[in-house]
Amino acid sequence: MGNSRVELAAPKFTLRARFTGVVDWTCPWCGHLNRYRVDRTGWRIRCKAKPCRRWFGYGLVLHSLSPLQHSGRGSMPPPDITFPLAELNLDYQRGAPVHRLMLEEEQPA
Range of the domain at 49: 21-106
For residue 49, what are the CA distances in angstroms to 53, 85, 92?
A: 6, 20, 22
- Distance, in Å, from the CA atom of 47 to the CA atom of 54, rounded to the nearest integer, reads 5
Instruction: Find, among 107, 95, 88, 93, the residue nearest to 25 by Cα.
Output: 88
Specify the DSSP element, H or E, that contains 69: helix 66-69
What pLDDT, on a 0 to 100 scale, did the predictor assign at position 108? 54
Give the integer Cα–Cα distance in Å for 107 and 109.
Answer: 6
- In a domain, residue 6? The reply is no
pTM tops 0.75: no
Q: Is residue 96 in a domain?
A: yes
From 53, 52, 46, 6, select the one nearest 25 (Cα to Cα): 46
State how many domains the chain has.
Answer: 1
The verdict on residue 88 lying in a domain is yes
Q: What is the pLDDT of residues 21-64, one digit of tens each?
A: 999 999 999 999 999 998 888 888 999 999 999 999 887 777 77
